């Protein structure tokens, strides 16, 4: 079955039963307190596991005129029904060791009575009981479909507890909590179903029939109760209830219920006259009751309370995710027919984010005056006037196609197509072993197809990186001679840029038109190397982010100027003692990994800035290996003072530099990594961390090189190390 069938079933079940689950959870939360409040009453006697039934009966018989019954409830409180010496009939808690009264048996509190009724039958008697039973069954089905979705998402049941990719708060905790709550929720649901089946008499008949002796000896001598072998050996904690003989007639017996069986016992001799074990379903019923109500155990009641809260959380996050998915999947309407369009954009998306990116691109094409058409990959067909096919696709399951792309391969085989150029943009996550696998498959299918010629090589986007997307759009625009202007709605979070920073010093421009600039915050702000400084020149512009190196409490930035770069030119125009307003954006995922003993830092160009701070602060002298790529020797001059000072202090263990334009043969940082493949493989094997900062092109090439190294030398996918937080990236 495909993932969407499971997801739709999961959603449908939730839609049908959510109101009842909310009611059952809220009342369940109240009811979870009943066993707790009962246990707080002080009627439990410590010696309950030592006192024998013989002792309790003897003591009671001495104090009261007649004893009718003894009951030990789920809280292990002992209740006796007696006639007092004054002839009054009373039922109360007793001390089983002395027979003394401990307190009156009070009625269930109103709140618990009310909650029980609502929880069991919605105050609708049999109809309500039926609804609740059915909803319990649906809840169980939801647990199963949910488990399947989690297993699929994690890449198989064996990876059940492997790290969950955190792309969205609600989705992340829906999955993380779901993994832990699966078993308790299934127990609550199944026991609920079982209790309902019992109420509707749908369980097999399990009434116990005792065989009474046909011939009874009449001249038997009465033995004292305190001498009864059975009563002496039975501890009161093993007994559920004892009904005393109705009369002193020899044919009336003690009727005793234990945890697993019922006994008829002679009141004259104490011998067992009949012994009947409970049927399996009777035992199952007892256990269902305990597991469903938490009766008698505070710990399980607390678990049940947590189950109720988590169900409310699942309903809230589940519906919030569905709404977001629906919003993401809102299709833009095409203003022209497919056969009139020159650019055909086809999308493969499961939860809609790829559609959001494709829509941005589509709208930019329309704004640029191009004839574009957008649709699902499944609706691939012939296009009469198209020049280019642009495919945006995510990957799902274990490297599979999203649901709206599953038919693409089939349609491609049977469709007669005019000659077309194509470009494939893959959306995926490096956390999964099959990174962007479906985009790779689509690219390969088009490569083999004679109607198609590639316009751009396959481009992969990790974790919906906006920066990577912008880079691809720039490349696409350049190769097609179209200037595209992407308009983002909420894509960049608004930063508060109201902290004052004073410029302490700055370098001149180097050969690459880059410079270093150092700021001192004028207010107390928290930051670390790896955090980002957000600068917004005017309110119309989106904020520009720069990676921070923290040097002696100051912020060090390495800035490359661009001809049309508003922010880089603004920074280039300021000098020592000038003030700027900016904001700190914490970037916790890119802080120095204190847990690692050895760190490899890979950067190109200005990406070195956070590493300058981390290296200068390495007072513990952890092993740090720097790999840096730049254009020429002069490109590095700006950084060598900080680096060689750190080297003298033994704060850095090795420096490896690749120059792309210093010699005839171009040498890039990924080439250095490839040359040191054995070292890199050992580093990862020994739990070392690799940090990457710089351009997205460099990041993609370095990741490819690392993937080759882990595949060939360690026979493992790079995603395994990513999942163990051994790869950290901050590229732009
Ligand atoms: C259950 C699940 C399985 C995934 N499997 C893969 C995978 O095998 N390879 C990959 O690169 N990305 C995988 N991803 C990541 C998605 O492809 C990525 O988040 C994508 O941006 C989602 O796009 P969409 O919202 O348009 O569906 C998976 C995500 C989920 C939730």
Same domain? 294 vs 168: yes
| pLDDT higher at 718 or 98 | 98
> Residue 492: pLDDT above 60?
no
Q: Are strands 514-521 and 598-604 parallel, antiparallel or unpaired?
A: unpaired
DSSP letter for each residue of 38-100: HHHSS---GGGGT-BHHHHHHHHHHHSSEEEEEEE-TT--EEEEEE-TTS-EEEEEE-TTT--
Q: How far is the CA of 388 from the centre of ligand 1 (A)?
A: 26
Q: How far is the CA of 432 from the centre of ligand 1 (A)?
A: 8
Domain end among 544, 565, 591: 591
Q: How far is the CA of 13 from the centre of ligand 1 (A)?
A: 24
Q: How confident is the model at residue 161 (pLDDT cuts 50, 70, 90)?
A: confident
Same domain? 455 vs 519: no
Residue-number span of the structural domain to which 470 is assigned: 330-480
- Of 292, 407, 415, 402, nearest in space to 354 by CA: 402
Q: Does residue 578 form part of some domain? A: yes
CA 642 – CA 626 distance, rounded (Å)? 13
Domain end among 569, 591, 613: 591
Cβ of residue 719 lying under 6 Å from some atom of ligand 1 = no
Q: What is the predicted pLDDT for the residue at 3?
A: 63
Q: What is the CATH number of the domain that holds 523?
A: 2.40.30.10
Same domain? 13 vs 139: yes
- Average pLDDT on 326-335 reads 80
Same domain? 464 vs 499: no
Q: How far is the CA of 702 from the centre of ligand 1 (A)?
A: 22
CA 285 – CA 28 distance, rounded (Å)? 19
Nearest residue (CA) to ligand 1, atom 19: 428
Q: Does residue 251 form part of some domain? A: yes
Same domain? 17 vs 159: yes
Nearest residue (CA) to ligand 1, atom 2: 153
Burial class (CB in 10 A: 0-12, 13-18, 19+), 408: buried
Phi, psi dihedral angles at 506 (to 5 degrees):
-150, 150
Q: What is the predicted pLDDT for the residue at 326?
A: 83
CA 72 – CA 280 distance, rounded (Å)? 22
Q: How confident is the model at residue 512 (pLDDT cuts 50, 70, 90)?
A: very high
Q: What residues contact residue 218 under an 8 Å CB cut-off, 6+ apart?
A: 250
* Number of domains making up the chain: 5
| pLDDT higher at 663 or 618 | 618
Q: What residues contact residue 12 under an 8 Å CB cut-off, 6+ apart?
A: none
Least confident of 72-76, 213-217, 457-461, 494-498: 494-498
Q: Report which ligand 1 atom has the smallest distance to the Cα of 153.
A: 1
Q: What is the predicted pLDDT for the residue at 44?
A: 86
Domain end among 591, 624, 644: 591
- Of 628, 96, 14, nearest in space to 318 by CA: 14
**3-state SS string over 319-374?**
HHHHHHHHHHCCCCCCCCCHHHCCEEEEEECCCCHHHHHHHHHHHHHHHCCCCEEE
What pairs with residue 78 in β-bridges? Answer: 72, 94
Q: Let me know how long the chain is.
A: 732
Q: How far is the CA of 680 from the centre of ligand 1 (A)?
A: 28
- Of 473, 441, 438, 439, nearest in space to 357 by CA: 473
b (16+ CB within 10 A) / e for 463-477: ebbeebbbbbbeebb
> Residue 87: pLDDT above 50?
yes
Q: What is the CATH number of the domain that holds 471?
A: 3.40.50.360
Q: Report which ligand 1 atom has the smallest distance to the Cα of 349.
A: 26
Q: What is the pLDDT of residues 263-321, one digit of tens each?
A: 999 999 999 999 999 999 999 999 999 999 998 888 999 999 999 999 999 999 999 99
Instruction: Work out the angle between the directed axes of helices 466-480 and 696-713 (0-180°, nearest 10).
Output: 110
Q: What is the predicted pLDDT for the residue at 437?
A: 96
Nearest residue (CA) to ligand 1, atom 6: 396
> Residue 489: pLDDT above 50?
no
Q: What is the predicted pLDDT for the residue at 498?
A: 81
Same domain? 8 vs 140: yes
DSSP state of 460: E
Cβ of residue 353 lying under 6 Å from some atom of ligand 1 = yes
Cβ of residue 325 lying under 6 Å from some atom of ligand 1 = no
Helices vs strands, H then E, count in the chain? 20, 26
Cβ of residue 469 lying under 6 Å from some atom of ligand 1 = no
Cβ of residue 401 lying under 6 Å from some atom of ligand 1 = no
> Residue 435: pLDDT above 80?
yes
b (16+ CB within 10 A) / e for 178-201: bbebbebbbbbbbbbbbbbbbeee
> Residue 208: pLDDT above 90?
no
3 state DSSP class of 126: helix
3 state DSSP class of 261: strand
CA 30 – CA 21 distance, rounded (Å)? 14
| pLDDT higher at 397 or 426 | 426
Please state, rounded to an integer, the average pLDDT across all residues of the chain. 91
How many CB atoms neighbour CB 81 within 10 A? 18
3 state DSSP class of 275: strand
Count CA within 13 A, CB hemisphere, residue 56.
Answer: 34
Q: Does residue 501 form part of some domain? A: yes
Phi, psi dihedral angles at 583 (to 5 degrees):
-135, 155
Q: How far is the CA of 490 from the centre of ligand 1 (A)?
A: 21
Q: How confident is the model at residue 540 (pLDDT cuts 50, 70, 90)?
A: low
Cβ of residue 148 lying under 6 Å from some atom of ligand 1 = no
Nearest residue (CA) to ligand 1, atom 12: 428
Nearest-Å Rg of the Cα atoms of the chain is 37
Least confident of 174-183, 426-435, 686-695: 426-435
Cβ of residue 357 lying under 6 Å from some atom of ligand 1 = no
Cβ of residue 431 lying under 6 Å from some atom of ligand 1 = no
Q: What is the pLDDT of residues 494-503, one digit of tens each?
A: 456 789 999 9
Q: What is the predicted pLDDT for the residue at 2?
A: 61
Q: Report which ligand 1 atom has the smallest distance to the Cα of 328.
A: 25
> Residue 542: pLDDT above 80?
no
> Residue 16: pLDDT above 60?
yes
Q: What is the CATH number of the domain that holds 701?
A: 3.40.50.80
Q: How is the beta sheet containing 514-521 ordered, strand by strand?
A: 544-547, 532-535, 579-585, 499-506, 514-521, 554-560, 549-551
Q: Which of 377, 391, 396 most suits a substitution to test ligand 1, by most atoms within 8 Å of the C-beta?
A: 396
DSSP letter for each residue of 523-591: S-----TT-EEEE-SSTTSPPEEEE-EEETTEEEEEEE--TT-HHHHHHHT--TT-EEEEEEE--GGGS
Same domain? 465 vs 549: no
Q: What is the predicted pLDDT for the residue at 488?
A: 56
Q: Does residue 685 form part of some domain? A: yes
Q: Pick the most confident of 176-190, 396-410, 484-498.
A: 176-190
Q: How far is the CA of 467 from the centre of ligand 1 (A)?
A: 18
Q: Which of 149, 167, 394 most suits a substitution to test ligand 1, by most atoms within 8 Å of the C-beta?
A: 394
**Rounded to 5 degrees, what angle do the CA atoms 260, 262, 263 make?**
130
Same domain? 544 vs 687: no
CA 191 – CA 53 distance, rounded (Å)? 32
Q: What is the predicted pLDDT for the residue at 491?
A: 40
> Residue 604: pLDDT above 90?
yes
- Average pLDDT on 613-634 reads 96
Cβ of residue 395 lying under 6 Å from some atom of ligand 1 = yes
Q: What is the pLDDT of residues 454-475, one digit of tens each?
A: 999 998 888 888 777 887 898 8
Q: How far is the CA of 498 from the centre of ligand 1 (A)?
A: 37
Q: How far is the CA of 355 from the centre of ligand 1 (A)?
A: 13
Q: What is the predicted pLDDT for the residue at 487?
A: 64
Q: How far is the CA of 207 from the centre of ligand 1 (A)?
A: 55
> Residue 226: pLDDT above 50?
yes
How many CB atoms neighbour CB 635 within 10 A? 22
Q: Does residue 565 form part of some domain? A: yes
Cβ of residue 403 lying under 6 Å from some atom of ligand 1 = no
Same domain? 89 vs 140: no
Tokens (6 digits) for 671: 């080439």
- Average pLDDT on 575-593 reads 92
Q: Does residue 622 form part of some domain? A: yes
What pairs with residue 93 in β-bridges? Answer: 79, 103
Q: How is the beta sheet containing 78-83 ordered, strand by strand?
A: 101-104, 89-94, 78-83, 66-72, 239-243, 253-258, 261-266, 272-277
Q: Does residue 226 form part of some domain? A: no
CA 553 – CA 591 distance, rounded (Å)? 16
Cβ of residue 629 lying under 6 Å from some atom of ligand 1 = no
CA 383 – CA 60 distance, rounded (Å)? 94
Nearest residue (CA) to ligand 1, atom 29: 396
Q: CB of 579 within 8 A of CB of 522?
A: yes
Nearest residue (CA) to ligand 1, atom 27: 350
Q: Does residue 210 form part of some domain? A: no
Q: What is the dihedral of CA 15, 18, 19, 25, to 10 degrees?
A: 180
Q: How far is the CA of 1 from the centre of ligand 1 (A)?
A: 18
Q: What is the predicted pLDDT for the residue at 319?
A: 94
Q: CB of 173 within 8 A of CB of 317?
A: yes
Nearest residue (CA) to ligand 1, atom 4: 396
Cβ of residue 397 lying under 6 Å from some atom of ligand 1 = yes
**Rounded to 5 degrees, what angle do the CA atoms 53, 57, 61 make?**
175
Cβ of residue 392 lying under 6 Å from some atom of ligand 1 = no
CA 514 – CA 83 distance, rounded (Å)? 99
Q: CB of 428 within 8 A of CB of 439?
A: yes
Cα separation values, 185 from 29, 68, 188, Å: 14, 41, 5
3 state DSSP class of 106: coil
Tokens (6 digits) for 636: 């590095």
pTM exceeding the 0.95 threshold for the entire prediction? no
Q: What is the predicted pLDDT for the residue at 496?
A: 65
Same domain? 335 vs 392: yes
Distance of CA 504 to the CA centre of its chain: 45
Q: Which of 157, 395, 720 most suits a substitution to test ligand 1, by most atoms within 8 Å of the C-beta?
A: 395
Same domain? 437 vs 546: no
Q: What is the predicted pLDDT for the residue at 42?
A: 80
Cβ of residue 399 lying under 6 Å from some atom of ligand 1 = yes
Q: How confident is the model at residue 546 (pLDDT cuts 50, 70, 90)?
A: very high
Q: CB of 76 within 8 A of CB of 44?
A: yes
Same domain? 565 vs 598: no
Q: How far is the CA of 434 from the centre of ligand 1 (A)?
A: 10
Cβ of residue 167 lying under 6 Å from some atom of ligand 1 = yes
Which value does ipTM take for this structure? 0.98
Q: What is the predicted pLDDT for the residue at 402?
A: 93
Q: What is the predicted pLDDT for the residue at 494?
A: 44
């Amino acid at each position: 079955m495909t993932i969407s069938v499971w997801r739709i079933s999961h959603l449908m079940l939730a839609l049908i039963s959510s109101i009842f689950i909310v009611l059952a959870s809220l009342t369940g939360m109240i009811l979870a307190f009943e066993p707790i409040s009962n246990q707080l009453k002080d009627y439990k006697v410590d010696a309950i596991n030592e006192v024998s039934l013989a002792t309790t009966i003897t003591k009671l018989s001495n104090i009261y005129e007649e004893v009718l019954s003894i009951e030990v409830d789920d809280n292990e409180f002992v209740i006796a029904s007696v006639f007092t010496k004054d002839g009054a009939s009373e039922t109360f808690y007793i001390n089983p060791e002395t027979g003394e009264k401990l307190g009156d048996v009070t009625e269930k509190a109103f709140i618990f009575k009310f909650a029980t009724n609502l929880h069991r039958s919605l105050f609708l008697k049999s109809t309500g009981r039926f609804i609740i039973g059915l909803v319990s069954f649906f809840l169980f089905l939801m647990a199963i479909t949910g488990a399947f979705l989690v297993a699929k998402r994690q890449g198989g049941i064996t990876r059940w507890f492997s790290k969950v990719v955190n792309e969205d708060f609600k989705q992340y905790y829906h999955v993380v909590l779901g993994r832990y709550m699966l078993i308790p929720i299934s127990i609550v649901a199944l026991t609920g179903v079982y209790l309902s089946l019992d109420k509707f008499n749908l369980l097999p008949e399990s009434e116990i029939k005792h065989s009474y002796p046909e011939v009874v000896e009449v001249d038997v001598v009465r033995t004292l109760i305190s001498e009864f072998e059975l009563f002496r050996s039975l501890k009161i904690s093993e007994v559920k209830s004892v009904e005393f003989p109705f009369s002193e007639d020899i044919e009336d017996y003690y009727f005793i219920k234990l945890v697993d069986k019922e006994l008829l016992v002679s009141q004259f001799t104490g011998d067992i006259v009949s012994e009947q074990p409970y049927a399996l379903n009777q035992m199952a019923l007892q256990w269902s009751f305990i597991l469903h109500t938490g009766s008698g155990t505070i710990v399980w009641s607390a678990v049940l309370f947590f189950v109720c809260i988590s169900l409310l959380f699942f309903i809230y996050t589940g519906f919030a995710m569905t709404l977001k998915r629906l919003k993401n999947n809102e299709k833009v309407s095409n203003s022209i027919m497919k056969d009139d369009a020159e650019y055909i954009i086809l999308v493969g998306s499961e939860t809609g984010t790829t559609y959001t990116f494709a829509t941005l691109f589509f709208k930019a094409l329309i704004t640029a005056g191009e004839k574009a058409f957008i649709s699902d990959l499944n609706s691939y067909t012939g296009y009469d006037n198209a020049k280019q096919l642009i495919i945006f696709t995510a990957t799902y399951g274990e490297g599979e196609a999203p649901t709206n792309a599953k038919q693409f391969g089939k349609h491609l085989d049977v469709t007669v197509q005019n000659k077309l150029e194509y470009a494939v943009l893959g959306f995926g996550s490096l956390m999964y072993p099959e990174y962007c696998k479906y985009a790779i498959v689509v690219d390969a299918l088009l490569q083999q197809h004679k109607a198609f010629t590639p316009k751009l090589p396959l481009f992969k986007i990790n974790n919906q990186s906006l920066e990577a997307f912008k880079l691809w759009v720039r490349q696409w625009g350049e190769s097609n001679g179209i200037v595209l202007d992407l308009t983002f709605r909420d894509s960049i979070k608004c930063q508060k840029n109201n902290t004052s920073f004073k410029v302490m010093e700055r370098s001149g421009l180097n050969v690459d038109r880059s410079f270093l600039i150092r700021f001192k915050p004028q207010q107390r702000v928290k930051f670390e190397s790896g955090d980002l400084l957000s600068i917004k020149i005017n309110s119309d512009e989106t904020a520009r982010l720069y990676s921070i190196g923290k040097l002696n409490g100051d912020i060090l930035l390495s800035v490359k100027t661009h001809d049309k770069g508003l922010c880089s030119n603004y920074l280039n125009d300021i000098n020592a003692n000038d003030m700027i307003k900016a904001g700190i954006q914490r970037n916790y995922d890119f802080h120095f990994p204190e847990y690692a003993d050895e760190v490899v830092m890979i950067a190109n160009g200005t990406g070195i800035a956070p590493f300058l701070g981390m290296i200068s602060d390495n007072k513990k002298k952890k092993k740090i290996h720097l790999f840096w790529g730049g254009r020429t020797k002069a490109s590095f001059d700006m950084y060598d003072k900080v680096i060689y000072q750190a080297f003298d202090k033994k704060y850095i263990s090795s420096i490896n530099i690749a120059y792309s334009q210093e010699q005839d043969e171009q040498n890039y940082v990924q080439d250095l990594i490839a040359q040191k493949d054995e070292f890199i493989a050992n580093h990862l094997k020994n739990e070392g961390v690799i940090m990457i900062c710089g351009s997205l092109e460099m990041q993609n090439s370095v990741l490819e090189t690392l993937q080759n190294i882990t595949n060939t030398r360690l026979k493992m996918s790079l995603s395994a190390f990513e999942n163990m937080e051994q790869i950290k990236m901050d590229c732009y």
